[in-house]
């Protein structure tokens, strides 16, 4: 049972290995959403995510015999690092099965913390089946990433810290994959103050918890597809599902495109790197009514590899109309390219890429295609530049931008 006593015990235990992640107030998001927004930056936590809390507390509850057999788990990354770190602190062997799609940075960091890594399957659920098989064959003690009340208790210590720092919190937004974090946070929040509203946030294309709550029992999605790899779970935990049913007030689902924009917002306004699963709560802020409520969004992790980060930034700039590409057909004569560049410069556009193709047509009156990728301040500025090109006698055509 998840009781106040067990949460207090867990809070004392996890303090041995966690960093203090104080709330960060966000004037930017507060102004945008009409609520007083705070972030719980678990992306700054040791191992880069909240998962070390549940892993360390769970290991502390095991018998000496269970530890001696060695530990095994399955994870898309953050729980893997949490178990590996916690096991090394306790002097215990750990094996982690990770999906083959796991970002390289998470694989390498898991190995760095001392775990043996096995790559198997395309999603968490397939990796979990392999981990359970190895546990049976080798006698390892299995540490489930979310479907375990003890793990959920460790994760729930986040709620205690939130309430201690912001006693009058109205709403807590919590990411949901399998449901361990949401179980712990929502259960403890309601124990401390039944009036606190706890809202779970899921990827729209991996919303197994929302589907389960609607059905009234745990259901398994046929497939999941989301850039939020840490919450790409097909089926929530059955052992913790009753707590979710009782304590979660609502579920918000988020499209991947919203996560891309949220990443850009966090980097530019808070100078923080938050992985896609952690951005679920950031994106959800705009889905809440503007009621001047005190809202805490839990940033669950920050373990994003550089290649993914680069891709997300580029897509975010394009989606925000901060980068766009126009195609114009020019007469094949000297000075036309200079005219286009001058119009863009006069309207404060910044050319970041230019493709000049003289062989697109045999018509010398419109024989050159010019593709210009331009940096702008946003949508209004983009339209200003395009209109100026039209007024200059060109016929700019917006095309898909590629950086």
Region 242-249: mean pLDDT is 97
Three-state helix/strand/coil letters over 310-369: HHHHHHHHHHCCCEEEEEEEECCCCCHHHHHHHHHHHCCCEEEEEEEECCCCCCHHHCEE
pTM higher than the cut 0.85: yes
Q: Considering only residues 251 and 89, tell me which one the structure prediction assigns the higher pLDDT.
A: 251
Q: Where are the beta strands (DSSP E) in 207-349?
A: 250-254, 294-299, 323-330
Side-chain-side CA neighbours of residue 263 (13 Å): 27
Q: Beta partners for 356?
A: 370
Mean pLDDT of the chain: 93
**How does pLDDT run across 308-342, given as a tens digit for each residue?**
888 899 999 999 999 999 999 888 788 888 999 99
Report the sign of the C-alpha dihedral through residues 54, 161, 239, 170, in that order. negative
Least reliable range by pLDDT among 70-79, 112-121, 206-215, 285-294: 70-79
Rounded Cα distance between 197 and 38, Å, is 15
**How does pLDDT run across 257-304, given as a tens digit for each residue?**
999 999 999 999 999 999 999 999 999 999 999 999 999 999 999 988
Region 224-237: mean pLDDT is 90
Asked if 281 and 299 touch (Cβ cutoff 8 Å), the reply is yes
Asked if 59 and 67 touch (Cβ cutoff 8 Å), the reply is yes
Q: How much is the pLDDT for 23?
A: 98
Q: How much is the pLDDT for 337?
A: 87
Region 223-233: mean pLDDT is 89
Active-site pick, 51, 130, 294, 382: 51
Phi/psi of residue 401, each to 5°? -85, 140
Q: How much is the pLDDT for 284?
A: 98
Active-site pick, 26, 60, 75, 300: 300
Rounded Cα distance between 167 and 165, Å, is 6
Q: Which residues are CB-neighbours of 307 under 8 A, at least 6 positions away?
A: none
Structural domains present in the chain: 4-49+148-304 (3.40.50.1100), 51-142 (3.40.50.1100), 321-399 (3.30.70.260)
**How does pLDDT run across 363-389, given as a tens digit for each residue?**
655 568 889 999 999 999 999 999 999
The answer to whether 51 is a known catalytic residue is yes
Phi/psi of residue 351, each to 5°? -75, 125
- Exposed/middle/buried for residue 91 (C-beta within 10 Å: 0-12, 13-18, 19+): exposed
Q: How much is the pLDDT for 364?
A: 58
pLDDT at 361 over 70: no
Rounded Cα distance between 190 and 171, Å, is 11
Confidence of residue 217 (pLDDT cuts 50, 70, 90): very high
- Nearest Cα residue to 179 out of 200, 198, 194, 159: 200
């Amino acid at each position: 049972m998840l009781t106040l006593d067990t949460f207090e015990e867990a809070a004392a235990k996890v303090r041995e290995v966690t960093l203090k992640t104080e709330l960060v107030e966000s004037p930017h998001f507060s102004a945008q959403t009409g609520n007083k927004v705070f972030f719980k930056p678990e992306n700054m936590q040791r191992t880069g995510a909240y998962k070390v809390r549940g892993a360390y507390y769970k290991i502390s509850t095991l018998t000496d015999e269970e530890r001696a057999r060695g530990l095994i788990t399955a994870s898309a990354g953050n729980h893997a690092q949490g178990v590996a770190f916690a096991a090394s602190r306790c002097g215990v062997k750990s094996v982690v099965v990770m999906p083959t799609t796991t970002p390289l940075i998470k694989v390498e960091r898991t190995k760095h913390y001392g775990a043996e890594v096995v790559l198997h399957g395309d999603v968490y659920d397939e990796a979990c089946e392999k981990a359970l098989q190895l546990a049976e064959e080798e006698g390892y003690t299995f540490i489930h990433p979310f479907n375990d009340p003890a793990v959920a208790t460790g994760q729930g210590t986040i709620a205690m810290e939130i309430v201690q720092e912001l006693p009058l919190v109205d709403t807590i937004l919590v990411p949901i994959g399998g449901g361990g974090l949401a179980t712990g946070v929502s259960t403890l929040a309601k124990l401390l103050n039944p009036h606190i509203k706890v809202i779970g946030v899921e990827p729209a294309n991996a919303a197994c918890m929302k589907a389960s709550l609607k059905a009234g029992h745990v259901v398994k999605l046929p497939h999941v597809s989301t850039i939020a790899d840490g919450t790409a779970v097909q089926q929530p935990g059955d052992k913790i599902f009753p707590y979710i049913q009782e304590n979660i007030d609502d579920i918000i689902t988020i499209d991947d495109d919203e996560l891309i924009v949220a990443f850009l917002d966090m980097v530019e306004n808070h100078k923080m790197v938050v992985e896609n699963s952690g951005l679920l709560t950031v994106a959800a802020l705009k889905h809440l009514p503007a009621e001047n409520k005190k809202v805490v969004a839990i940033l669950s992790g920050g373990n994003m590899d550089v290649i993914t980060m680069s891709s997300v930034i580029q897509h975010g700039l394009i989606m925000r109309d901060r980068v766009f590409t126009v195609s114009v057909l020019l007469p094949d004569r000297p000075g036309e390219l200079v005219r286009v560049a001058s119009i863009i410069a006069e309207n404060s556009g910044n050319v970041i890429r230019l493709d000049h193709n003289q062989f697109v047509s045999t018509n010398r009156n419109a024989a050159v295609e010019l593709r210009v990728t331009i940096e702008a301040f946003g949508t209004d500025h983009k339209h200003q530049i395009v209109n100026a090109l039209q007024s200059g006698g060109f016929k700019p055509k917006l095309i898909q931008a590629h950086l």
